[in-house]
């Protein structure tokens, strides 16, 4: 084992002090001394360095217990942030996320996201202004990460399949030039799964299914997202569910996507007509037979999907996306019953649960692409 150098010991001490203040609100020098076993001069030196960097600030002074009143120190998460960019058909959403994973600023712009140079220039201008406003408020922007509804190249430099948003061929360099920031392309489902891991540290292995207008998936193994050698692990939406069945936007027929999408529930057909999720689920809860039967069919296709993927990776299932806000505990119980009826291994125990992350999860998760490694760099 190599001998520790003075510089490495100093860095280790700084990281230890930072990590303790990051995870505990209102820490005193005495708290740090008792917890970390460092000398008061060493602690004072590190606190000065962290104050100068803006990462911590002096907090309140505690009541005296007989001696000098102790000063607390608090972490300042908003001194650094990252921008998550969410892309929809006619709207781009910008979320600034601080070092604690909190959204500190948000903007919505009614513009089209595509690989078109004019579109990129327009979006880049909006992001640049957003970043400048954050910097003006004392939040240094680490970068901007785009939650992309498509496949990303193996090296992360280009959208290689973007039929949903018409952004095939979009290059990272174009975004960096337009925004003036360091940028990243993240598959939206992978971004959502990043948020799962950030907000629930207990997750070890899981299959994530995100159910919206265009469903998606992600795989978590050993507490990390499993991208695969070509970043295509988790593309569950293109699993063949019904051979020769409904057409999918990818060009094939019978994929999971058209059977487990919100469009299956609310799309145009002679039974349901075109309606919103609010209207659809209100009808289901009111006991309407036709919408109830369609919902039951949708649950059946979702159960078949879960059974299929669990035969590859036997772990818990996390369900997120737009539809989950409408699903009740009883719905999850029905889904679990349907899954159990398909399961070859009846003794198999696992959970199907709703994502805890909620609204704009993929946008926050995209921003965490910069937040997570930065926090690790100052705390570990």
The residue extents of the domains of the chain are: 6-75, 78-193+361-379, 201-354
| CATH number for the domain formed by residue range(s) 6-75 | 1.10.10.10
Report the C-alpha gap between 72 and 217 in whole angstroms: 44
Q: What interhelical angle do 188-199 and 361-379 show, nearest 10?
A: 50
Residue whose pair of structure tokens reads 């540290």 in the numeric block:
201
Nearest to 197 by CA among 221, 214, 229, 216: 221
Q: Is the dihedral of CA 47, 51, 57, 63 positive or negative?
A: positive
Coil, strand, or helix at residue 214?
Answer: coil
Identical fold between 78-193+361-379 and 201-354: yes
pLDDT score for 121: 95
Coil, strand, or helix at residue 173?
Answer: helix
Q: Are strands 206-210 and 183-187 parallel, antiparallel or unpaired?
A: unpaired
pLDDT score for 103: 97
The CATH class for the domain spanning 201-354 reads: alpha beta
Report the C-alpha gap between 272 and 266 in whole angstroms: 7
Burial class (CB in 10 A: 0-12, 13-18, 19+), 294: buried
Residue whose pair of structure tokens reads 């159910």 in the numeric block:
211
Nearest to 307 by CA among 357, 361, 256: 256
pLDDT score for 60: 84
| pLDDT, mean of each 10-residue run, the chain (380 residues) | 80 96 93 94 96 94 68 96 91 97 96 90 97 97 96 93 89 97 96 96 96 94 91 92 95 96 79 77 96 97 97 94 94 96 83 88 97 96
User: Which long-range CB contacts under 8 A does 52-60 form with residues at least 24 apart?
Assistant: 53/79, 54/79, 54/138, 55/18, 55/79, 55/80, 55/378, 56/18, 56/21, 59/26, 60/26
| CATH number for the domain formed by residue range(s) 78-193+361-379 | 3.30.420.40
Mean residue pLDDT of the chain comes to 92
State the greatest distance between any 2 C-alpha atoms of the chain, in Å, as a whole number: 80
pLDDT score for 166: 86
Report the C-alpha gap between 134 and 79 in whole angstroms: 10
For the chain, helix, strand, coil in percent to 5 are 45, 20, 35
pLDDT score for 267: 77
Residue whose pair of structure tokens reads 């001394």 in the numeric block:
33
Nearest to 188 by CA among 373, 372, 364, 356: 364
Cα radius of gyration (the chain): 24
pLDDT score for 230: 84
């Amino acid at each position: 084992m190599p001998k520790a150098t003075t510089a490495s010991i100093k860095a280790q001490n700084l990281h230890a002090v930072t990590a303790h203040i990051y995870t505990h609100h209102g820490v005193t020098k005495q708290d740090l001394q008792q917890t970390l076993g460092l000398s008061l001069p060493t602690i004072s030196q590190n606190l000065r360095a962290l104050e100068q960097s803006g990462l911590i600030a002096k907090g309140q002074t505690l009541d005296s217990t007989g001696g000098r009143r102790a000063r607390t120190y608090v972490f300042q998460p908003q001194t650094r942030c990252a921008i998550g960019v969410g892309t929809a058909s006619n709207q781009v959403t910008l979320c600034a996320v601080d070092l604690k994973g909190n959204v500190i600023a948000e903007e919505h712009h009614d513009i089209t996201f595509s690989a078109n140079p004019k579109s990129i220039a327009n979006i880049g201008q909006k992001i640049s202004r957003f970043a400048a406003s954050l910097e003006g408020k004392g939040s240094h922007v680490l970068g901007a990460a785009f939650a992309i509804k498509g496949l990303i190249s193996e090296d992360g430099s280009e959208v290689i399949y973007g039929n949903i948003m018409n952004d095939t061929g979009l290059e990272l360099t174009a975004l960096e030039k337009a925004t003036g920031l360091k940028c990243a392309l993240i598959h939206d489902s992978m971004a959502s799964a990043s948020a799962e891991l950030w907000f629930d540290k207990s997750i070890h292995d899981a299959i994530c299914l995100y159910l919206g207008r265009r469903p998606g998936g992600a795989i978590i193994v050993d507490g990390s997202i499993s991208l695969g050698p070509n970043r295509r692990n988790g593309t569950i939406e293109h699993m063949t569910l019904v051979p020769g069945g409904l057409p999918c936007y990818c060009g094939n027929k019978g994929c999971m996507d058209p059977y487990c999408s919100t469009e299956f529930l609310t799309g145009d057909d002679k039974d349901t007509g075109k309606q919103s999720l609010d209207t659809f689920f209100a009808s289901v809860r009111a006991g309407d037979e036709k919408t109830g039967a369609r919902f039951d069919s949708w649950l059946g296709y979702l159960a078949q999907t879960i059974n299929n993927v669990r035969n590859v990776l036997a772990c818990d299932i996390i369900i997120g996306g737009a539809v989950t806000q409408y699903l009740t505990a009883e719905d999850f119980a029905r889904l679990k019953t349907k899954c159990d009826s398909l399961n070859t291994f009846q003794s198999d125990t696992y959970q199907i649960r709703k994502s805890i992350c909620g609204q704009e999860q993929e946008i926050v998760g995209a921003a965490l692409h910069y937040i997570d490694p930065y926090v690790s760099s100052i705390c570990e």
